[in-house]
């Protein structure tokens, strides 16, 4: 519970949801304020009340601002037993409580389950809470590392689609493409991803591959944007770059998971093993770094194109 504003510093304030009691008693008459200066009650669908200053809500959500304004314009529709106007919301008390912690100057709280975290993002998105979305995503990135296995990544992707979270869906889809994602592999993971989500993922993969093939063809013909001109390999491709490097770049379009610095080193090592006297064995390390940065930029641009048209 919160005391007077002068007695409790903002960083230690908490938003405490209060379960509504039966209609035969006075549900709010004896409750302490959830937040100093409260002039509106947000009520969850499961009967939790949050007494808060409406300015915090209206400044963060144009959608809820309209809801509150309609209530204030029609006082007769409010709960007659409540001491303040009541805004009934469809969200549950626990998830609504987490959302409010990203609006008020209190310690922000993320839900404990992955699905609830995704639901929290979707609610903030539904209410057009741009600043809250930034804060929630920041908390997620600090507290939850990206999945290192395919199954968790597939689950996050399917939840992002379920809740209409496009940024999370695109980010996770790209993570998934770091793995070999043949149709056979993905179909074996149907316990981690629903069929409809799998279909969307396969469509995304094909769009990525089509754009990568086109962009990487241009990249190869430009001598990797000029980063590897003048290399005297025994076997040059038609684009006048070492044949092994040309093949490596081309392979990324078909298999995006091969875009990995380790894979580049493997390709170069295999070439040198087969032809130890080739001058590729003495390519300057700075040239390799410049090439990799140029390739990474080209690949990132391709993924960005997919995001723009997705």
Q: Is 20 found in the same domain as 118?
A: yes
Residue 191 counted as domain residue? no
DSSP codes joined into one string, 24-76: TS-TTTTPPPSSTT--EEEE-TTSEEEEE-HHHHHHH-HHHHHHHHHHHH-GG
- Mean pLDDT of the residues in the chain: 83
3-state helix, strand, coil in the chain (%, to 5): 60, 5, 35
* pTM (two decimals): 0.78
Residue 164 counted as domain residue? no
Kindly report the CATH number assigned to the domain that includes residue 116.
3.30.710.10
Task: Tell me the pLDDT tens digit for each residue of 185-229.
Answer: 777 777 778 888 988 998 999 999 999 999 999 999 998 888 887
The pLDDT of residue 5 is 32
Residue 203 counted as domain residue? no
Residue 157 counted as domain residue? no
Q: Is 135 found in the same domain as 34?
A: yes
Q: How many domains does the chain have?
A: 2
| Residue 223 and residue 239 in contact, taking contact as beta carbons nearer than 8 Å | yes
Question: Could you tell me whether strands 86-88 and 48-52 are parallel, antiparallel, or unpaired per DSSP bridges?
Answer: unpaired
Would you say residue 30 has pLDDT above 60? no
Q: Is 129 found in the same domain as 24?
A: yes
| Domain span holding position 56 | 10-142
Task: Tell me the pLDDT tens digit for each residue of 126-135.
Answer: 999 999 999 9
Q: Is 28 found in the same domain as 127?
A: yes
Task: Tell me the pLDDT tens digit for each residue of 150-165.
Answer: 888 899 999 999 999 9
């Amino acid at each position: 519970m919160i005391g007077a504003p002068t007695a409790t510093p903002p960083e230690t304030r908490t938003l405490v949801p209060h379960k509504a009691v039966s209609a035969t008693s006075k549900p709010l008459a004896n409750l302490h304020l959830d937040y100093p200066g409260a002039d509106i009650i947000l009520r969850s669908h499961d009967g939790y009340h949050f007494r808060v200053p409406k300015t915090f809500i209206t400044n963060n959500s144009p959608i809820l601002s309209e809801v509150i304004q309609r209530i204030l314009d029609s006082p007769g529709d409010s709960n007659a037993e409540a001491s303040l106007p009541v805004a009934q919301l469809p969200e549950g008390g626990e998830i609504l409580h987490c959302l409010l912690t990203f609006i008020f100057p209190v310690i922000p709280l993320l839900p404990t389950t992955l699905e609830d975290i995704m639901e929290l993002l979707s609610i903030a998105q539904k209410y057009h809470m741009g600043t809250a979305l930034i804060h929630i995503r920041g908390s997620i990135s600090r507290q939850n590392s990206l999945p290192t296995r395919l199954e968790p990544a597939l689950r996050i992707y399917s939840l992002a689609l379920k809740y209409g979270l496009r940024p999370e869906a695109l980010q996770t889809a790209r993570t998934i493409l770091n793995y070999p994602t043949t149709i056979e592999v993905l179909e074996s993971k149907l316990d981690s991803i629903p069929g409809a989500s799998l279909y969307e993922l396969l469509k995304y993969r094909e769009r990525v591959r089509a754009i990568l093939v086109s962009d990487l063809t241009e990249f190869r013909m430009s001598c990797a944007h000029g980063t590897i001109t003048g290399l005297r390999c025994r076997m040059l491709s038609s684009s006048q770059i070492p044949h092994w490097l040309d093949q490596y770049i081309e392979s990324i379009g078909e298999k995006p998971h091969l875009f990995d610095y380790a894979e580049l080193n493997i390709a170069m090592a295999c070439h040198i093993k087969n032809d130890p006297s080739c001058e590729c064995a003495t390519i300057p390390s700075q040239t390799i770094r410049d090439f990799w940065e140029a390739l990474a930029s080209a690949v990132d641009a391709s993924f960005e194109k997919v995001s723009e048209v997705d």
